Amino acid sequence: MREVRISRLKLRVSWIDFWNWHKAANWIRTTRGGLNFLAVLVGAGAGLGAIIFRWLIVHATEVFSGTKDYSAAGHIPNHHFPWLGIYFVILAPAIGGLIYGPLVHRFAPEARGHGVPEVMYAISHKGGRIPAKVAAVKSLASAICIGSGGSVGREGPIVQIGSAIGSSLGQRFKVSENRLRTLVACGAAGGIAATFNAPIAGVFFSLELLLGEFATEGFATVVIASVTASVIGRAAFRNVPFISLPSFSINHPVQYLFYIVLGVLAALVGIMFTRVLYWIEDLCDRIWRGPEWARPAVGGLFLGLILLVLPEMYGVGYPVLQGGLEGKYALGFLIVLLIGKMVATSFTIGIGGSGGVFAPSLFIGAMFGAAFGTVLHMITPFYSGALGPYALVGMGAVFAGAARAPMTAIVILFELTGDYTIILPLMLAIAVATIASRVFMNDTIYTLKLRRRGVDVSKKSNIERLNSQTVESIMLHQPAAIEWNLKLIAAADRIFAQGGEVRPVTKDGAVIGIVSAYALSRAISRDEDLDSLIVENIIEQPPAIFTMTSIAAAIGALGGNEISAAPVLDSDENVVGWIDQVSLLNAVSLSVSR
């Protein structure tokens, strides 16, 4: 008997645990508080992912080049292989490609390239679903690619890594597609925030480039993830500006005209970078005839020749970028660095490398801005002012010209420098660059990759819009209820007097079903003893529609039966609103007219 009681107690405890877990999971899955809780987890995961990713890059760079950053050292032997002299740099990208090429080809082909377009595609066409393995494969592949000399950035990989973390967690809790997209954006924002110590820029990057909207709920949730990741990132990397600049000021109003010209020219440079990137990628596609897994290794030999001539192209190249901001390079060398980065980055992506194009666009912008400032100083030294601001503004303007994300460009450059005095010329040049980019190019550096595949992420289909919008946004107030014990004639009189075809039925204040005018008329017409019938005898059970149910799903639920309206439930299954076919048709009409 004692054993039986113990087994029954264990069974009861297990059922209690299961019920508590089910209730907690339902709260996480359906409430705003639950979504914010997931945002904290995603932000923490993205922050830790950024730390691990940067650690991998540092150690991969040290192994392949013998230094922490070969772009700053340049033309020195790798102390691990001194007998190769400076020519080790030809073999480093090939050996790296021999490692990450098969890794990407075998386990996660979507980890190839610069990452952000893949996240955009997942959000717009796959409901935010990204395989969990992408985070691990992208981390390793990009770290090896950058560490072995790939001339790409780390923002694309960390966006894809953070997004994969957010998607995996959302899928684990089986959240709606709308929430899953938000969690993907949370992961991207967290990755940017932790990597660049730029929490505000992380938010704008996700909302402006990935989600393409600034909805209140999504904004708040992405902010929570970005702040969480930034706190973790600052604990590891310290709270310091990513780029340091000497102090400066605008000495004469005419300088604002120079920044307008800089914005227009920077847009053209950003467009040129985009064209060169995909032209070289197409060229590599036409030339290569071998297996895809071997492409990075063979192409790495040619990339190594570029690095042998111009070691400043090795890896991300932030020390070289800093040198451009400080005016260390002559005009001719600035142009060489600008063109060299375009070619080296494009070739790294073209041979199947894994890395981002955001940092290269900043690099190109810094060199262009510094060259622009140098020319101005030659022409009009009295009015031109300091060189550094032109280089910094050039960074944001070229990125805006390539990506057409003005808010992201403004905020991230401000956060990277921590200098407010740059904000006015920065805003002016970036706004001009964005306008000019729209005039000269339809796509951006990110969307062009998808359009070449026949995918247009700028437009959503009607069903995608209805899938991304929840019932909560269009639900009505619950109409006056009818008591369960009301006689049918009295119920019919009430519905006729109040208007409408369907009413909720309540018992002791709780909704127990619905009654429709059709059901009432049918019951009244076929029964003679109406005094014995009450509303409870003919009530119907509507489909379960929750606040977070998508409009598309609600249309399917109500369209699949004769019920034309239903109460809307919250996560605790309390009635909080009402939905009917008229309001759903209005939502469809608005979606089609957009």
* DSSP secondary structure, 431-454, as one string: HHHHHHHHHH-SS-TTHHHHHTTT
Residues in Cβ contact with 244 at an 8 Å cutoff, skipping those fewer than 6 apart: 322, 417
- Please state, in angstroms and rounded to a whole number, the distance separating the CA atoms of residues 199 and 94: 36
- Please state, in angstroms and rounded to a whole number, the distance separating the CA atoms of residues 344 and 316: 11
Q: Which of 508, 542, 502 is nearest to 520 (CA)?
A: 502
Backbone angles phi, psi at 197, to 5 degrees: 55, 50
Token pair, residue 161, equals 């890594």
- Please state, in angstroms and rounded to a whole number, the distance separating the CA atoms of residues 15 and 136: 36
With b for 16 or more beta-carbon neighbours within 10 A and e for fewer, the 519-558 pattern comes to: bbeebbeeeeeeeebbbeebbbebeebbbbbbbbbbbebb
The helix-helix angle for 88-107 and 133-147 (nearest 10°) equals: 170
- Please state, in angstroms and rounded to a whole number, the distance separating the CA atoms of residues 199 and 224: 10
Q: Is 7 exposed, middle or buried (0-12, 13-18, 19+ CB in 10 A)?
A: exposed
What pLDDT, on the 0 to 100 scale, is given for residue 400?
A: 92
DSSP designation for 479: P
Q: What is the DSSP string of 124-144?
A: HHSTT---THHHHHHHHHHHH
Are 575 and 546 spatial neighbours (Cβ–Cβ below 8 Å)? Answer: no
The helix-helix angle for 358-379 and 331-350 (nearest 10°) equals: 160
With b for 16 or more beta-carbon neighbours within 10 A and e for fewer, the 19-47 pattern comes to: eeeeeeebebbbbeebbbbbbbbbbbbbb
Backbone angles phi, psi at 537, to 5 degrees: -70, -20
Q: Which segments of 377-528 are extended strands (E)?
A: 482-483, 502-507, 510-516
Question: How far is C-alpha 321 from the chain's CA centre?
Answer: 26
The dihedral through the CA atoms of 138, 141, 146, 151 has a sign that is negative
What pLDDT, on the 0 to 100 scale, is given for residue 479?
A: 80
Beta bridge partners of 502: 516
pLDDT tens-digit profile, the chain (594 residues): 445 454 544 444 444 444 455 566 777 777 778 888 899 999 999 999 989 999 999 999 999 988 888 888 878 888 888 888 889 999 999 999 999 999 988 888 877 877 788 888 888 777 788 888 888 888 899 999 999 988 998 888 888 888 889 998 888 888 877 788 889 999 999 988 888 888 888 888 888 888 776 555 578 888 999 999 999 988 887 776 666 665 666 777 788 899 999 999 999 999 999 999 999 999 998 998 889 899 999 999 999 999 999 999 998 888 899 888 888 899 999 999 999 999 999 999 999 888 889 889 999 999 999 999 999 988 888 777 778 889 889 999 999 999 888 888 888 887 776 667 778 888 999 999 999 999 998 888 888 888 887 777 665 545 555 666 777 777 888 787 878 777 877 777 777 776 667 878 888 777 888 887 777 777 777 655 666 678 777 778 787 788 778 777 777 777 655 677 888 887 777 788 888 777 777 766 555 444
Question: What residue ranges do the domains of the chain occupy?
Answer: 1-30, 31-237, 255-463, 471-593
Are 160 and 365 spatial neighbours (Cβ–Cβ below 8 Å)? Answer: no
- Please state, in angstroms and rounded to a whole number, the distance separating the CA atoms of residues 456 and 453: 9
Residue with tokens 């819009």: 465
- Please state, in angstroms and rounded to a whole number, the distance separating the CA atoms of residues 338 and 383: 25
Helix (H, G, I), strand (E, B) or coil at 580: strand
Q: Do domains 31-237 and 255-463 have the same CATH topology?
A: yes
DSSP designation for 535: G
Question: How far is C-alpha 270 from the chain's CA centre?
Answer: 21
Residues in Cβ contact with 278 at an 8 Å cutoff, skipping those fewer than 6 apart: 448, 449, 452
Residues in Cβ contact with 410 at an 8 Å cutoff, skipping those fewer than 6 apart: 396, 423, 426, 427, 430
Domain range 255-463, its CATH number among 1.10.3080.10, 3.40.50.300, 1.10.8.100, 2.170.190.11: 1.10.3080.10
- Please state, in angstroms and rounded to a whole number, the distance separating the CA atoms of residues 427 and 406: 8
Are 162 and 49 spatial neighbours (Cβ–Cβ below 8 Å)? Answer: yes
What pLDDT, on the 0 to 100 scale, is given for residue 464?
A: 55
Are 391 and 369 spatial neighbours (Cβ–Cβ below 8 Å)? Answer: yes
- Please state, in angstroms and rounded to a whole number, the distance separating the CA atoms of residues 538 and 489: 13
Angle at 250 between CA 244 and CA 256, to 5 degrees: 110
Q: Which amino acid is at 429?
A: A
What pLDDT, on the 0 to 100 scale, is given for residue 578?
A: 83
The dihedral through the CA atoms of 237, 242, 245, 249 has a sign that is negative
- Please state, in angstroms and rounded to a whole number, the distance separating the CA atoms of residues 97 and 100: 5
Topology (CATH level 3) of domain 471-593? CBS-domain (3.10.580)
Task: State the DSSP H helix or E strand holding residue 415, giving kind and residue range, or none if neither.
Answer: helix 406-417
What is the Cβ-side half-sphere exposure of residue 338, based on CA atoms within 13 angstroms?
26
- Please state, in angstroms and rounded to a whole number, the distance separating the CA atoms of residues 349 and 352: 5
Report, in angstroms and rounded to the nearest whole number, the Rg of the chain calculated over CA atoms. Answer: 30
- Please state, in angstroms and rounded to a whole number, the distance separating the CA atoms of residues 178 and 468: 5
What pLDDT, on the 0 to 100 scale, is given for residue 561?
A: 58
Backbone angles phi, psi at 113, to 5 degrees: 90, -160
Topology (CATH level 3) of domain 31-237? Clc chloride channel (1.10.3080)
Are 47 and 231 spatial neighbours (Cβ–Cβ below 8 Å)? Answer: yes
Polymer length in residues for the chain: 594
The dihedral through the CA atoms of 434, 440, 442, 445 has a sign that is negative
pTM of the model: 0.76
